[in-house]
Chain A
Amino acid sequence: MNGKLKLATVWLDGCSGCHMSFLDIDERLLDVAALADLVYSPLVDAKEFPEMVDIALIEGAVSSEDDYHKIRHVRAHTRILVSLGDCAVTANVPAMRNRFKVEEVLDRAYFENATLNQQIPVEVIPPLRKQSIPVHQVVAVDVFVPGCPPSADIIFYAVTELLAGRTPDLRTRTHFGA
Protein backbone atom coordinates (compact mmCIF):
# COMPACT_ATOMS: atom_id res chain seq x y z
CA MET A 1 0.00 0.00 0.00
CA ASN A 2 1.32 3.35 -1.01
CA GLY A 3 -1.21 5.39 1.05
CA LYS A 4 -3.00 6.60 -2.05
CA LEU A 5 -6.77 6.38 -2.47
CA LYS A 6 -8.22 3.76 -4.76
CA LEU A 7 -10.12 5.07 -7.78
CA ALA A 8 -12.19 2.95 -10.16
CA THR A 9 -14.17 3.76 -13.27
CA VAL A 10 -16.99 1.55 -14.54
CA TRP A 11 -18.49 1.46 -17.99
CA LEU A 12 -22.12 0.38 -18.17
CA ASP A 13 -24.52 1.27 -21.02
CA GLY A 14 -22.92 4.40 -22.41
CA CYS A 15 -20.95 5.51 -25.42
CA SER A 16 -17.63 5.78 -23.52
CA GLY A 17 -17.76 9.52 -24.12
CA CYS A 18 -17.53 10.16 -20.40
CA HIS A 19 -14.37 8.09 -20.23
CA MET A 20 -13.02 10.05 -23.17
CA SER A 21 -13.84 13.27 -21.38
CA PHE A 22 -12.08 11.88 -18.32
CA LEU A 23 -8.98 11.31 -20.44
CA ASP A 24 -9.34 14.87 -21.71
CA ILE A 25 -8.12 16.01 -18.30
CA ASP A 26 -4.87 15.59 -20.17
CA GLU A 27 -1.75 16.51 -18.20
CA ARG A 28 -3.83 16.94 -15.06
CA LEU A 29 -4.14 13.14 -15.06
CA LEU A 30 -0.76 13.26 -13.38
CA ASP A 31 -2.22 15.32 -10.54
CA VAL A 32 -4.94 12.74 -10.12
CA ALA A 33 -2.40 9.93 -10.27
CA ALA A 34 -0.47 11.58 -7.48
CA LEU A 35 -3.49 11.29 -5.21
CA ALA A 36 -5.02 8.02 -6.31
CA ASP A 37 -4.36 4.71 -7.98
CA LEU A 38 -6.68 3.75 -10.80
CA VAL A 39 -7.35 0.21 -9.60
CA TYR A 40 -10.16 -0.82 -11.93
CA SER A 41 -11.31 0.68 -15.24
CA PRO A 42 -11.83 -0.07 -18.92
CA LEU A 43 -8.60 1.92 -19.22
CA VAL A 44 -6.54 -0.48 -17.11
CA ASP A 45 -5.99 -4.20 -17.15
CA ALA A 46 -7.62 -5.36 -13.90
CA LYS A 47 -10.40 -7.90 -14.51
CA GLU A 48 -11.74 -8.15 -10.97
CA PHE A 49 -13.28 -5.30 -9.02
CA PRO A 50 -11.14 -4.86 -5.90
CA GLU A 51 -12.40 -5.67 -2.41
CA MET A 52 -12.87 -2.02 -1.61
CA VAL A 53 -12.33 1.17 -3.57
CA ASP A 54 -12.71 4.71 -2.30
CA ILE A 55 -14.27 6.32 -5.32
CA ALA A 56 -15.95 4.73 -8.33
CA LEU A 57 -17.02 6.77 -11.33
CA ILE A 58 -19.91 5.10 -13.16
CA GLU A 59 -20.56 5.84 -16.77
CA GLY A 60 -23.73 4.60 -18.43
CA ALA A 61 -27.24 3.47 -17.65
CA VAL A 62 -28.26 0.11 -16.23
CA SER A 63 -29.55 -1.70 -19.31
CA SER A 64 -28.50 -5.34 -19.25
CA GLU A 65 -28.43 -8.11 -16.68
CA ASP A 66 -24.69 -7.72 -16.65
CA ASP A 67 -24.94 -4.00 -15.86
CA TYR A 68 -27.36 -4.78 -13.10
CA HIS A 69 -25.19 -7.33 -11.34
CA LYS A 70 -22.06 -5.32 -11.92
CA ILE A 71 -23.44 -2.12 -10.38
CA ARG A 72 -24.71 -3.99 -7.35
CA HIS A 73 -21.31 -5.60 -6.90
CA VAL A 74 -19.56 -2.26 -7.37
CA ARG A 75 -21.85 -0.56 -4.88
CA ALA A 76 -21.06 -3.19 -2.27
CA HIS A 77 -17.35 -2.58 -2.71
CA THR A 78 -17.27 1.18 -3.10
CA ARG A 79 -17.37 3.91 -0.54
CA ILE A 80 -18.30 6.83 -2.75
CA LEU A 81 -20.26 6.03 -5.85
CA VAL A 82 -20.36 8.72 -8.51
CA SER A 83 -22.86 8.80 -11.39
CA LEU A 84 -20.77 10.29 -14.15
CA GLY A 85 -22.59 11.74 -17.11
CA ASP A 86 -26.19 11.84 -18.25
CA CYS A 87 -26.52 8.11 -19.03
CA ALA A 88 -25.72 7.22 -15.43
CA VAL A 89 -27.73 10.17 -14.07
CA THR A 90 -30.81 10.13 -16.30
CA ALA A 91 -30.40 6.99 -18.48
CA ASN A 92 -30.33 9.51 -21.34
CA VAL A 93 -30.04 8.04 -24.84
CA PRO A 94 -30.03 4.37 -23.78
CA ALA A 95 -33.48 4.98 -22.25
CA MET A 96 -34.89 6.05 -25.60
CA ARG A 97 -35.51 2.38 -26.26
CA ASN A 98 -37.75 2.12 -23.20
CA ARG A 99 -40.78 3.04 -25.24
CA PHE A 100 -40.40 -0.20 -27.18
CA LYS A 101 -40.41 -3.83 -26.17
CA VAL A 102 -37.04 -5.52 -25.85
CA GLU A 103 -37.92 -7.89 -28.72
CA GLU A 104 -38.72 -4.95 -30.98
CA VAL A 105 -35.41 -3.35 -30.14
CA LEU A 106 -33.51 -6.55 -30.85
CA ASP A 107 -35.42 -7.14 -34.09
CA ARG A 108 -34.58 -3.67 -35.22
CA ALA A 109 -30.89 -4.11 -34.47
CA TYR A 110 -30.27 -7.68 -35.51
CA PHE A 111 -32.80 -8.24 -38.32
CA GLU A 112 -34.13 -5.05 -39.89
CA ASN A 113 -30.81 -3.27 -39.90
CA ALA A 114 -28.59 -6.30 -40.42
CA THR A 115 -27.70 -7.40 -43.91
CA LEU A 116 -25.60 -10.40 -43.05
CA ASN A 117 -26.03 -13.20 -40.58
CA GLN A 118 -29.36 -12.09 -39.15
CA GLN A 119 -29.72 -13.57 -35.69
CA ILE A 120 -30.17 -12.46 -32.13
CA PRO A 121 -27.03 -13.27 -30.20
CA VAL A 122 -27.50 -15.49 -27.19
CA GLU A 123 -23.90 -15.99 -26.15
CA VAL A 124 -21.42 -13.44 -24.73
CA ILE A 125 -23.89 -10.57 -25.15
CA PRO A 126 -25.80 -10.18 -21.88
CA PRO A 127 -29.61 -10.12 -22.10
CA LEU A 128 -31.26 -6.71 -22.01
CA ARG A 129 -33.43 -5.75 -19.09
CA LYS A 130 -36.95 -4.45 -19.73
CA GLN A 131 -35.84 -0.85 -19.38
CA SER A 132 -32.66 1.16 -19.24
CA ILE A 133 -32.68 3.06 -15.98
CA PRO A 134 -30.44 5.51 -14.16
CA VAL A 135 -27.93 4.08 -11.70
CA HIS A 136 -29.64 5.66 -8.69
CA GLN A 137 -32.82 3.72 -9.44
CA VAL A 138 -30.84 0.53 -8.72
CA VAL A 139 -28.36 1.43 -6.01
CA ALA A 140 -27.69 4.43 -3.82
CA VAL A 141 -25.53 7.07 -5.46
CA ASP A 142 -23.49 9.62 -3.52
CA VAL A 143 -22.53 12.17 -6.13
CA PHE A 144 -24.14 13.10 -9.44
CA VAL A 145 -22.19 14.67 -12.29
CA PRO A 146 -24.63 15.46 -15.12
CA GLY A 147 -23.47 16.34 -18.61
CA CYS A 148 -23.22 14.61 -21.94
CA PRO A 149 -20.41 14.27 -21.44
CA PRO A 150 -19.39 16.34 -18.42
CA SER A 151 -16.50 18.51 -19.51
CA ALA A 152 -12.97 17.53 -18.58
CA ASP A 153 -12.81 20.52 -16.25
CA ILE A 154 -15.92 19.42 -14.41
CA ILE A 155 -14.64 15.87 -14.08
CA PHE A 156 -11.29 17.10 -12.85
CA TYR A 157 -12.98 19.39 -10.36
CA ALA A 158 -15.28 16.61 -9.13
CA VAL A 159 -12.54 14.01 -8.82
CA THR A 160 -10.04 16.28 -7.07
CA GLU A 161 -12.66 17.55 -4.66
CA LEU A 162 -13.62 13.98 -3.81
CA LEU A 163 -10.00 12.96 -3.45
CA ALA A 164 -9.49 15.88 -1.11
CA GLY A 165 -12.33 14.60 1.03
CA ARG A 166 -14.82 17.29 0.06
CA THR A 167 -18.21 16.99 -1.59
CA PRO A 168 -18.08 18.79 -4.92
CA ASP A 169 -20.87 21.30 -5.48
CA LEU A 170 -21.80 20.66 -9.07
CA ARG A 171 -25.31 21.98 -9.07
CA THR A 172 -24.68 25.22 -10.89
CA ARG A 173 -21.60 24.11 -12.79
CA THR A 174 -23.15 21.56 -15.07
CA HIS A 175 -26.59 20.42 -16.16
CA PHE A 176 -28.41 17.67 -18.02
CA GLY A 177 -27.22 17.61 -21.61
CA ALA A 178 -24.26 19.91 -20.91
Chain B
Amino acid sequence: MKRPFKTRVRTLKIDGIDVGAREDETILELAQENGIFIPTLCHLEGVHDIGACRLCLVEIKGTSKLLPACMTYAEEGMEVITDSERLTAYRRQVLDLLFSERNHVCAVCVSNGHCELQWLAEKLGISHVGVPYLYPQLPVDASHSFYTLDHNRCVLCARCVRVCDEIEGAHTWDVTGRGVECRVISDLNQPWGTADSCTRCGKCVQVCPTGALFSKGKAVAEMTKRREFLPYLQQMREGRR
Protein backbone atom coordinates (compact mmCIF):
# COMPACT_ATOMS: atom_id res chain seq x y z
CA MET B 1 0.00 0.00 0.00
CA LYS B 2 1.36 3.37 -0.99
CA ARG B 3 1.30 6.03 1.63
CA PRO B 4 -0.45 9.08 0.27
CA PHE B 5 2.25 11.58 1.07
CA LYS B 6 3.35 14.53 -0.96
CA THR B 7 6.62 13.50 -2.49
CA ARG B 8 9.71 14.56 -0.66
CA VAL B 9 13.25 13.43 -1.18
CA ARG B 10 15.16 11.18 1.16
CA THR B 11 18.82 10.33 1.18
CA LEU B 12 19.99 7.02 2.50
CA LYS B 13 22.61 4.35 2.06
CA ILE B 14 22.11 0.99 0.42
CA ASP B 15 25.07 -1.34 0.80
CA GLY B 16 27.22 1.65 1.59
CA ILE B 17 26.20 3.54 -1.55
CA ASP B 18 24.54 6.92 -1.11
CA VAL B 19 21.23 7.03 -2.92
CA GLY B 20 18.40 9.51 -3.22
CA ALA B 21 14.83 8.35 -3.04
CA ARG B 22 11.33 9.66 -3.21
CA GLU B 23 9.56 9.29 0.08
CA ASP B 24 6.97 6.96 -1.46
CA GLU B 25 9.60 4.63 -2.83
CA THR B 26 10.33 1.25 -1.35
CA ILE B 27 13.81 -0.07 -0.71
CA LEU B 28 13.21 -2.66 -3.41
CA GLU B 29 12.31 -0.09 -6.07
CA LEU B 30 15.27 1.99 -5.04
CA ALA B 31 17.65 -0.96 -5.19
CA GLN B 32 16.39 -1.94 -8.62
CA GLU B 33 16.87 1.62 -9.89
CA ASN B 34 20.41 1.55 -8.64
CA GLY B 35 21.23 -1.84 -10.07
CA ILE B 36 21.37 -3.60 -6.71
CA PHE B 37 19.98 -7.13 -6.83
CA ILE B 38 17.48 -8.19 -4.17
CA PRO B 39 15.77 -11.53 -4.80
CA THR B 40 11.97 -11.50 -4.85
CA LEU B 41 9.25 -13.92 -5.75
CA CYS B 42 5.89 -12.52 -4.68
CA HIS B 43 6.70 -8.96 -5.78
CA LEU B 44 5.20 -7.97 -9.11
CA GLU B 45 5.48 -4.50 -10.52
CA GLY B 46 2.01 -3.14 -11.13
CA VAL B 47 0.15 -4.75 -8.22
CA HIS B 48 0.36 -4.09 -4.50
CA ASP B 49 2.92 -5.90 -2.38
CA ILE B 50 2.15 -8.40 0.34
CA GLY B 51 5.60 -9.22 1.73
CA ALA B 52 4.88 -12.94 1.68
CA CYS B 53 7.88 -14.69 0.16
CA ARG B 54 10.42 -13.17 2.58
CA LEU B 55 13.18 -13.36 -0.04
CA CYS B 56 13.63 -9.60 -0.15
CA LEU B 57 14.28 -9.27 3.59
CA VAL B 58 17.02 -6.74 4.25
CA GLU B 59 18.91 -5.58 7.30
CA ILE B 60 18.42 -2.01 8.42
CA LYS B 61 20.87 -0.47 10.82
CA GLY B 62 19.29 0.22 14.17
CA THR B 63 16.55 -2.37 13.75
CA SER B 64 17.01 -5.90 14.97
CA LYS B 65 14.19 -7.15 12.77
CA LEU B 66 14.68 -8.01 9.14
CA LEU B 67 12.29 -6.03 6.96
CA PRO B 68 10.87 -6.84 3.53
CA ALA B 69 12.39 -4.45 0.99
CA CYS B 70 9.19 -4.49 -1.05
CA MET B 71 7.15 -2.92 1.74
CA THR B 72 9.70 -0.82 3.57
CA TYR B 73 9.79 2.82 2.56
CA ALA B 74 12.88 4.94 2.23
CA GLU B 75 13.61 7.00 5.32
CA GLU B 76 16.11 9.75 5.80
CA GLY B 77 19.50 8.48 6.95
CA MET B 78 18.53 4.82 6.67
CA GLU B 79 21.39 2.37 6.23
CA VAL B 80 20.27 -0.71 4.36
CA ILE B 81 22.22 -3.91 3.87
CA THR B 82 20.79 -6.05 1.09
CA ASP B 83 23.33 -8.82 1.11
CA SER B 84 25.00 -10.55 4.02
CA GLU B 85 25.88 -14.07 5.00
CA ARG B 86 22.88 -14.19 7.28
CA LEU B 87 20.47 -12.90 4.63
CA THR B 88 21.80 -15.31 2.02
CA ALA B 89 21.41 -18.21 4.43
CA TYR B 90 17.81 -17.25 5.16
CA ARG B 91 17.00 -16.72 1.49
CA ARG B 92 18.37 -20.13 0.65
CA GLN B 93 16.28 -21.64 3.41
CA VAL B 94 13.17 -19.96 2.04
CA LEU B 95 13.87 -21.54 -1.35
CA ASP B 96 14.58 -24.88 0.35
CA LEU B 97 11.18 -24.69 2.00
CA LEU B 98 9.45 -23.79 -1.25
CA PHE B 99 11.05 -26.65 -3.15
CA SER B 100 10.16 -29.09 -0.39
CA GLU B 101 6.58 -27.88 -0.05
CA ARG B 102 5.17 -29.09 -3.35
CA ASN B 103 6.23 -31.26 -6.24
CA HIS B 104 8.58 -29.12 -8.25
CA VAL B 105 9.93 -31.59 -10.77
CA CYS B 106 11.89 -29.15 -12.92
CA ALA B 107 12.93 -31.76 -15.45
CA VAL B 108 9.37 -32.39 -16.62
CA CYS B 109 7.88 -28.94 -15.99
CA VAL B 110 6.40 -26.78 -18.74
CA SER B 111 8.30 -23.82 -17.34
CA ASN B 112 11.69 -25.52 -17.15
CA GLY B 113 14.24 -22.90 -18.07
CA HIS B 114 11.75 -20.04 -17.77
CA CYS B 115 10.86 -20.39 -14.12
CA GLU B 116 11.60 -17.74 -11.52
CA LEU B 117 11.89 -20.27 -8.70
CA GLN B 118 14.40 -22.30 -10.67
CA TRP B 119 16.28 -19.15 -11.66
CA LEU B 120 16.44 -17.95 -8.06
CA ALA B 121 17.75 -21.33 -6.92
CA GLU B 122 20.57 -21.05 -9.43
CA LYS B 123 21.21 -17.40 -8.63
CA LEU B 124 21.40 -18.09 -4.90
CA GLY B 125 23.45 -21.21 -5.37
CA ILE B 126 21.03 -23.89 -4.20
CA SER B 127 22.69 -27.15 -5.20
CA HIS B 128 20.27 -29.31 -3.23
CA VAL B 129 17.37 -29.02 -0.81
CA GLY B 130 18.34 -29.47 2.83
CA VAL B 131 14.92 -30.38 4.26
CA PRO B 132 12.92 -33.52 3.49
CA TYR B 133 10.40 -33.15 0.67
CA LEU B 134 6.76 -33.23 1.71
CA TYR B 135 5.37 -34.84 -1.46
CA PRO B 136 1.76 -33.64 -1.10
CA GLN B 137 -0.99 -35.11 -3.23
CA LEU B 138 -2.23 -32.23 -5.37
CA PRO B 139 -4.66 -32.00 -8.26
CA VAL B 140 -4.26 -30.44 -11.68
CA ASP B 141 -7.19 -28.36 -12.92
CA ALA B 142 -7.38 -28.61 -16.70
CA SER B 143 -11.06 -27.66 -16.92
CA HIS B 144 -10.39 -24.27 -18.49
CA SER B 145 -10.45 -24.15 -22.26
CA PHE B 146 -7.23 -22.14 -22.62
CA TYR B 147 -5.18 -22.70 -19.51
CA THR B 148 -4.21 -25.24 -16.89
CA LEU B 149 -3.60 -24.84 -13.15
CA ASP B 150 -1.11 -27.29 -11.68
CA HIS B 151 -1.10 -27.01 -7.89
CA ASN B 152 2.06 -29.08 -7.77
CA ARG B 153 4.07 -26.11 -8.98
CA CYS B 154 2.30 -23.34 -7.07
CA VAL B 155 4.35 -21.27 -4.61
CA LEU B 156 1.34 -19.31 -3.26
CA CYS B 157 2.88 -15.96 -4.20
CA ALA B 158 -0.67 -14.76 -4.90
CA ARG B 159 0.42 -12.83 -7.99
CA CYS B 160 -2.50 -14.36 -9.91
CA VAL B 161 -4.89 -13.33 -7.15
CA ARG B 162 -3.65 -9.75 -7.16
CA VAL B 163 -3.40 -9.26 -10.91
CA CYS B 164 -6.88 -10.67 -11.44
CA ASP B 165 -8.31 -8.44 -8.75
CA GLU B 166 -6.36 -5.25 -9.25
CA ILE B 167 -5.67 -5.13 -12.98
CA GLU B 168 -8.33 -7.26 -14.62
CA GLY B 169 -10.91 -6.46 -11.95
CA ALA B 170 -12.42 -9.93 -12.07
CA HIS B 171 -11.18 -11.37 -8.77
CA THR B 172 -11.59 -14.88 -10.08
CA TRP B 173 -8.70 -16.11 -7.94
CA ASP B 174 -8.33 -16.24 -4.22
CA VAL B 175 -6.71 -18.43 -1.61
CA THR B 176 -8.49 -20.96 0.58
CA GLY B 177 -7.33 -23.00 3.53
CA ARG B 178 -4.69 -22.44 6.14
CA GLY B 179 -1.01 -23.03 6.44
CA VAL B 180 0.42 -25.67 4.20
CA GLU B 181 -3.14 -26.61 3.17
CA CYS B 182 -3.58 -23.28 1.38
CA ARG B 183 -4.71 -23.53 -2.24
CA VAL B 184 -5.36 -21.04 -4.95
CA ILE B 185 -9.02 -21.33 -5.94
CA SER B 186 -11.18 -19.88 -8.67
CA ASP B 187 -14.55 -18.35 -7.81
CA LEU B 188 -16.30 -20.46 -5.15
CA ASN B 189 -13.69 -23.19 -5.06
CA GLN B 190 -14.89 -24.70 -8.32
CA PRO B 191 -13.16 -25.95 -11.46
CA TRP B 192 -11.59 -23.02 -13.29
CA GLY B 193 -13.49 -23.86 -16.45
CA THR B 194 -16.78 -23.28 -14.64
CA ALA B 195 -15.72 -20.00 -13.02
CA ASP B 196 -18.05 -17.43 -14.57
CA SER B 197 -16.02 -14.45 -13.42
CA CYS B 198 -12.98 -15.51 -15.46
CA THR B 199 -12.55 -13.33 -18.55
CA ARG B 200 -9.92 -15.63 -20.02
CA CYS B 201 -7.55 -12.69 -20.24
CA GLY B 202 -4.62 -14.85 -19.21
CA LYS B 203 -2.92 -12.21 -17.08
CA CYS B 204 -2.66 -14.68 -14.21
CA VAL B 205 -0.89 -17.14 -16.47
CA GLN B 206 1.59 -14.55 -17.67
CA VAL B 207 2.49 -13.36 -14.18
CA CYS B 208 2.78 -16.79 -12.55
CA PRO B 209 6.46 -17.21 -11.65
CA THR B 210 6.45 -20.99 -12.05
CA GLY B 211 4.70 -23.61 -14.12
CA ALA B 212 1.60 -23.57 -11.92
CA LEU B 213 -0.40 -21.64 -14.52
CA PHE B 214 0.29 -22.34 -18.16
CA SER B 215 -1.29 -22.30 -21.59
CA LYS B 216 -2.69 -25.54 -22.84
CA GLY B 217 -0.68 -27.31 -25.49
CA LYS B 218 2.68 -26.40 -24.01
CA ALA B 219 5.07 -29.27 -23.41
CA VAL B 220 8.14 -29.44 -21.18
CA ALA B 221 10.14 -26.19 -21.17
CA GLU B 222 7.87 -24.58 -23.74
CA MET B 223 5.98 -22.19 -21.50
CA THR B 224 7.50 -18.74 -21.68
CA LYS B 225 5.77 -15.81 -20.07
CA ARG B 226 5.60 -12.14 -20.85
CA ARG B 227 4.57 -9.58 -18.32
CA GLU B 228 5.91 -6.27 -19.60
CA PHE B 229 2.33 -5.18 -20.14
CA LEU B 230 1.58 -4.88 -16.46
CA PRO B 231 3.31 -1.68 -15.37
CA TYR B 232 2.10 -0.19 -18.64
CA LEU B 233 -1.50 -1.10 -17.95
CA GLN B 234 -1.29 0.24 -14.46
CA GLN B 235 0.29 3.49 -15.60
CA MET B 236 -2.40 4.00 -18.20
CA ARG B 237 -5.09 3.53 -15.60
CA GLU B 238 -3.50 5.86 -13.10
CA GLY B 239 -3.05 8.44 -15.85
CA ARG B 240 -6.70 8.29 -16.73
CA ARG B 241 -7.87 8.85 -13.17
Contact = CB atoms under 8 A, between A and B. Distances in A.
Interface in A38-68: none
Interface in A57-99: 83, 86, 89-93, 95-96, 98-99
B127 A171 contact: yes
Chain B binding surface, main DSSP class = loop
Contacts of B104: 176
Interface stretch (B5-13, B37-45, B133-141, B163-171): B133-141
B92 to A, nearest CB: 10
A90 B136 contact: no
B152 to A, nearest CB: 9
Interface of A: 83, 86, 89-93, 95-96, 98-99, 131, 133-134, 136-137, 141, 144-146, 148, 170-172, 174-177
B112 A177 contact: yes
Contacts of B118: 175-177
B230 interface: no
B106 A99 contact: no
B107 A171 contact: no
A86 B128 CA distance: 9
22 contacts: A90-B99, A90-B106, A95-B103, A95-B105, A95-B133, A96-B105, A96-B108, A99-B135, A99-B136, A99-B138, A144-B128, A148-B106, A171-B126, A172-B122, A172-B123, A172-B125, A174-B122, A175-B106, A175-B119, A176-B107, A176-B121, A177-B105
B158 to A, nearest CB: 23
Contact of A131 (B99, B128, B135, B137): B135
